[in-house]
Chains A and B, each alone.
Chain A
Amino acid sequence: MEASVSAALSVSALAMAVIFTVLTLLIFTIKALVKLIPYKAPPAPPARKASASSAAPGQDDQVAAITASLAAHMGKRPDEFRIVNIQSR
């Protein structure tokens, strides 16, 4: 029994040493990789172009709603026409 336990201790010490060695090797590899291939932030999405319509700022919701209604009424796709002006009375 004693011999077996001492063998188990030897195996455990050896195995822990192997695990720490392998994972330490991986740590240095990862650090090298991260240094060699640094993170680059993806390009910012292009700023939304100002609407071609002359609708006043804050009228986007109204434009969207009117566009949808007109598209349904005329049987056209929303990109086939453009609302250029909204005048309140």
Chain B
Amino acid sequence: MLGVACILIYLAIWKKFEPLLLLPMGFGSLLANLPLSMMASTDTGGLLNFFYQGVKHEILPPIIFMGVGALTDFGPLLANPTTLLLGAAAQIGVYTTLIGAVYLGFNMQEAAAIGIIGGADGPTSIFIASKLAPHLLAPIAVAAYSYMSLVPLIQPPIMKLFTTEEERKIKMEQLKPISQTVKIVFPVVVTIVCCLLLPGVTPLLGMFMLGNMFRESGVTARLHETTETHLINIVTIMLALSVGSSMTADSFLRIETIKIIVLGLLAFSFATAGGLLFGKLMCKLSGGKVNPLIGSAGVSAVPMAARVSQKVGADADSSNFLLMHAMGPNVAGVIGSAVAAGVFVSLFGDVGSAVDTHAALAPVIGNPEPGMQALATVVEVVKQ
């Protein structure tokens, strides 16, 4: 395991693979695997065991999401809201991987945690893994962040495979400007709509939208600045060290790790293909006004995936500027992967307790959530 830790440190420093994450993760793993160091996530009373409580109790990923929200501009998405569908289509990678994982012998909860790698969203992957399959947290986090850093290598061949030269040259109309009031109202509306429909998504999406409110409200400059810089940096260190501390030999040096690495690559590839194919459909339906390349940005991985769309588009026609158009599906991908995570939490997480609560309340307030009961039925079927 010391060798694996050193490889992660090497990849971070010399290959620049998500260094902000892989460096502390690798060093955390190094510390955890030193004999008698008491630095593994399971060493009660050890330093990294305290940090790990933030992962175990789902505290750190939502705080990272708040920072991401503070860094996110929803302007391109609001200017062209139909690109939300590209963010939804790219989630196909999550579900094809889930099916593949089940086929390879993982149970449904483990498969869900592996599948969410296709959401290309590190904090979401860690959030779901810690909730549904904590024993797979380390390989899932390593796969998610490694492939996110490899987006510029993974996506272009798939983009060229699924699109023609003419499609890549399509120039899109300039985006309309959006009122600042809409930008302020949007996070509140998303929080209400999504969190009412999928309560499991609230920790991630709620904090994401809070961070965005700090940014757009214009009255919390200090909170915005802190959230998008110092807070997200501090929490990133703690999160990566915690994940690294869970990378012990018995949890990482297993055949399952290799399966997860392979499935993670498939997840990214299918997610890219799903976004592209839906982009092609939108291109056809819009009469050639949508460049299908922006579909690949629906995999999240902000802003790397949008940059890749821009680059591949510019390779076909150097006067083609797709970056801002691709930011719409890119941000939609973040929302889409959070919603996908919410679906998994609703299906395999704490839905039982929520249903119990609603059952207790039913005589008082009627039958408030038939959707929850439907989900509970599905859970029962899946368990059987």
Contacts and interface: CB of A to CB of B under 8 A. Distances in A.
Interface of A: 1, 4-5, 7-12, 14-16, 18-20, 22-27, 29-31, 33-34, 37-41
Q: Say what secondary structure dominates the interface of chain B.
A: helix
A37 B197 contact: no
Interface in B333-347: 335-336, 339-340, 343-344, 347
Given A8-B108, A24-B85, 17 more contacts: A1-B103, A4-B107, A7-B382, A10-B381, A11-B95, A14-B378, A15-B95, A16-B88, A18-B198, A22-B193, A22-B198, A22-B339, A26-B335, A30-B81, A30-B186, A37-B182, A38-B179
A23 B328 CA distance: 13
A5 B99 CA distance: 6
Contacts of A38: 179
B82 interface: yes
B19 interface: no
A19 B182 CA distance: 23
A1 to B, nearest CB: 7
Contacts of B190: 26
Nearest to B344: A15
Given A16-B95, A22-B339, A10 B186 contact: no
Q: Give me the 3 closest cross-chain CB pairs, A-B, nearest first.
A: A12-B95, A30-B81, A8-B102
A37 B98 contact: no
B253 interface: no
Contact of A23 (B85, B181, B381): B85
Contacts of B85: 20, 23-24, 27
Contact of A8 (B99, B178, B189, B339): B99
B64 interface: no
A19 B382 CA distance: 19
Interface string B75-100: 00110011011011001101110110
Interface string B179-201: 10110011001100110011000
Interface string B33-74: 000000000000000000000000000000000000000000
Contact of A12 (B99, B189, B332): B99
A60 B342 CA distance: 62
B108 A7 contact: yes
Contacts of B343: 14-15, 18-19
Contacts of A5: 99, 102-103
Contacts of A11: 95, 98, 108, 112, 347, 378, 382
Contact of B102 (A4, A29, A34, A39): A4
